[in-house]
Amino acid sequence: SEENPAIIGNNVIVGTAAVIHGVYVGDSANIGEGCVIFDGATLGEGVMLAAGSIVPANVVIPPRSLNSGVPAAQIREISREEVEKHNIRAEAITLVFQKLKRWQLST
């Protein structure tokens, strides 16, 4: 909404059927399939959210942390190397979709 927009950083992967409402998602985050993130929540840079996790309204998830559950709770910290691997994957996915878009426009 205009009062509470969703702000999504760079190199973010959002899984199938994830629902995101008026949140801030930092760069290099990975939101698993079927996650629900409610208004006002903040996911720091490099956060990984396991499939099916729910983040309640106004909760702040710290950077570079793996979180899972209902409600989502921190399992462990994410290493810089894991964030870099995620970024490589996100960039590869972006390239695939850019090629698909060009292919669709040319047909």
Structure confidence at residue 1 as a pLDDT band (50, 70, 90) = low
Assigned superfamily of 7-106: Hexapeptide repeat proteins (2.160.10.10)
Measured distance CA(63)–CA(100) in Å, rounded: 32
Q: Work out the percent of the chain whose per-residue pLDDT is above 70.
A: 99
In tens, the pLDDT along 51-76 reads 999 999 999 999 999 999 999 999 99
Q: How many CB atoms lie within 10 A of CB 58?
A: 11
DSSP3 helix / strand / coil % (the chain, rounded to 5): 25, 25, 50
pLDDT at residue 106 in the model: 78
Nearest partner of 60 among 40, 76, 75, judged by Cα: 40
